[in-house]
Amino acid sequence: MPDAGDVIDAPALTAAIQRCFALSMDSSVPAHAQAELMSAAKRLRGYLLNLVSARFAARTPEVRAANLAITAANDALAADMKKVKTVAAAVSKLAALLKKLDAALVAAAGFA
């Protein structure tokens, strides 16, 4: 079994994406926040597709940080769906970390 730092926590990231999509279609969420959550969900889904099969060196700090951010985003989404600003901030942080990992994967794999 690989070290937990080797891979992105895909099941937890999937749960966060599903919660973002759910919030984006929730009429109790302001329209501007719905649009932001839909955009974030689509962006995170793209990162998930790129990173789901990636293996990083054991104990990669960025992977650990991303997994912690995934947990934090899930906790924020699950704990109080009404705190859209808190959720959006957690998702934005997660997206920024995943963007860095995606760029590193592209560079390492030689994709253009």
For the CA atoms of 75, 80, 84, 88, what is the dihedral angle to 10 degrees?
0
Render pLDDT for 47-100 as a digit per residue (tens, 0 to 9): 999 999 888 888 889 999 999 999 999 998 887 666 666 777 788 889 999 999
Digit-coded pLDDT (tens) for 2-40: 455 589 999 999 999 999 999 899 887 889 989 999 999
Q: Note the pTM of the prediction, 2 decimals.
A: 0.73
How many Cα atoms are found within 13 Å in the side-chain-facing hemisphere of 107?
7
Q: What is the dihedral of CA 44, 20, 92, 72, to 10 degrees?
A: -100
